[in-house]
Amino acid sequence: MRANEPAHLIPYTIAVAHQKGGVGKTTTALTVGACLAEQHVHTLLIDLDPSLNLTNGVGLSSKFVNETLAEVLLAEAPLGSAIRSTTFENLDILPSGPGMLSLSHQLHARPTYEMLLDRLIAQPRMSMYEVILIDCPPMLDALTVLALSATDLVIIPTQCEYYALQALESMFRMIRMIRAKNNPKLRYRLLVTMFDRRGKFHARVLQLLREQYSNALLKATIGFDTRVRESQMAGVPLTVFAPKCRAAEHYRSLSRELQFYIQKKRMEPASAGG
């Protein structure tokens, strides 16, 4: 529970983070957002990555983005004018844009920057959203600290590759640091992405993950599906582009699993993570 919890509802906040690039962070943030929206959950996407992939993923071009989280946090723009609706029902976005390139650097100059996003999410304007999904850049920098300090749950997408498992250690270190310093309620879950169900090696690594991280592993596993790339090229979430494809169904299962966490927090507002 946040200190001085206000009377209005605070959205359940999920960050998708990993310092490793190309593991499916943006795909997960976007597709889970689209699945929740499809399940009538009013959802806000926040694009923390200066590479704009999530912003482009909902079909928004940087040419049309003037205000981002950077302008809002540096008090140059009101939150309301930076949030954009998308063409998809129940799905809004706080987009990325040129301003995000220097945000990490500018935050370091502010001694208490780490809780800025947490405070923003606690604003009454945000209570219109049930869920916020944050797409993080592929590094453990100030932007990821900002996200994890404001988050109920961090999803760590991982592929079933040996090196991917080694890379988890730095994520866990960062989570321990954030829990100790800013956000004791932070919980994490691992998500297997781009799983090749025909490959024996992937099955072996998945078994290892189950043995090593049993409770921290999400039950849903996202299979490799070429429709994901195609949907990104089209600037449309996968569940809209190819509603019946395998990965879309996997992301729907994941979203139903996440609804359990979301509802649990609603029913026990004073409970901390675990």
Ligand X SMILES: Nc1ncnc2c1ncn2[C@@H]1O[C@H](COP(=O)(O)OP(=O)(O)OP(=O)(O)O)[C@@H](O)[C@H]1O
Residues at the contact surface with ligand X, assessed by CB under 6 A:
21-27, 49, 53, 138, 193-194, 222, 224-225, 228-229, 232, 247
- Contacted by 24, from ligand X, Mg ion, none: CB < 5 to 8 Å by type: ligand X
d(C-alpha 134, C-alpha 162), whole Å: 26
- Contacted by 229, from ligand X, Mg ion, none: CB < 5 to 8 Å by type: ligand X
The secondary structure element, H or E, covering residue 119 is helix 116-121
- Contacted by 261, from Mg ion, ligand X, none: CB < 5 to 8 Å by type: none
- Contacted by 248, from Mg ion, ligand X, none: CB < 5 to 8 Å by type: none
**Between 229 and 266, whose beta carbon lies closer to ligand X?**
229
The yes or no reply on residue 104 touching Mg ion (CB under 5 A) is no
User: How far from 54 is each of 75, 97, 122, 266, CA to CA, in Å?
Assistant: 23, 11, 23, 27
How many of the other CB atoms lie within 10 Å of CB of 53?
18
Say which residue the tokens 């063409």 belong to.
87
User: How far from 159 is each of 13, 49, 194, 208, 213, CA to CA, in Å?
Assistant: 23, 20, 6, 12, 14
Which residue from 18, 20, 25, 265 is in contact with Mg ion, where contact means CB under 5 A? Answer: 25
Which residue from 13, 19, 26, 28 is in contact with Mg ion, where contact means CB under 5 A? Answer: 26
- Contacted by 67, from ligand X, Mg ion, none: CB < 5 to 8 Å by type: none
Tokens of 50: 């200066």
**How far from each other are the two terminal CA atoms of the chain, in whole angstroms?**
13
Site string for Mg ion, 46-85 (x = CB under 5 A): -------x--------------------------------
The yes or no reply on residue 18 touching Mg ion (CB under 5 A) is no
